[in-house]
Amino acid sequence: MSQNTTDSATADHSLTTNQSLAVRRIASGDSIADTARLTGVHRSTVHRWLNEPEFMAELNVARSELQQHADAQLLNLIGKAISQVAAAIEGGDTSAAIAVLKGMGLLPGERTPIGLIDAERISAHQQAQSARNRWEDEVAGLGI
């Protein structure tokens, strides 16, 4: 398969029509091989696209939109899920009880850290992270 050189960029962004299709397919879970076949390009072309900033950004947008959609659907099921878990726990299902405790971060060693609570320390941490990012960008620019 060869790359379609007549594939024009779409009006919404700098991706070609084939790249936009590839974004949708990859975000939906298709393999690189299937995506290449469906877009009429070689797998190496899809791999190259995956390293292009514009393609990466569009893929992240598509993944984010799919995740938001899935989250919205799951939110609609929370009431039913809570009722099922409560019934399981009330019926003596200890694995359900442990899963709930783990999920809530209430078992020793399972709690997710909340993070800094002092605004000055948070600001200092952000500044340090920003300085580190600038340094990494400079090093990357040197080709080291």
CA–CA distance, 102 with 104 (Å, rounded to integer): 5
pLDDT band for 114, please (50, 70, 90 cuts): low
Single-letter amino acid code for the residue at 3: Q
pLDDT band for 4, please (50, 70, 90 cuts): very low
Architecture of domain 1-76 in this structure? Orthogonal Bundle (1.10)
pLDDT band for 6, please (50, 70, 90 cuts): very low
Would you say 18 and 37 are in contact if contact means Cβ atoms under 8 Å apart?
no
pLDDT tens sequence across 7-62: 444 444 589 999 999 999 999 999 999 999 999 999 999 999 999 989 999 999 99
pLDDT tens sequence across 81-108: 888 888 988 999 988 888 888 777 777 6
Give the pLDDT score at 97.
84
> Which tokens hold the place of 33?
């091989």
Domain ranges of the chain: 1-76
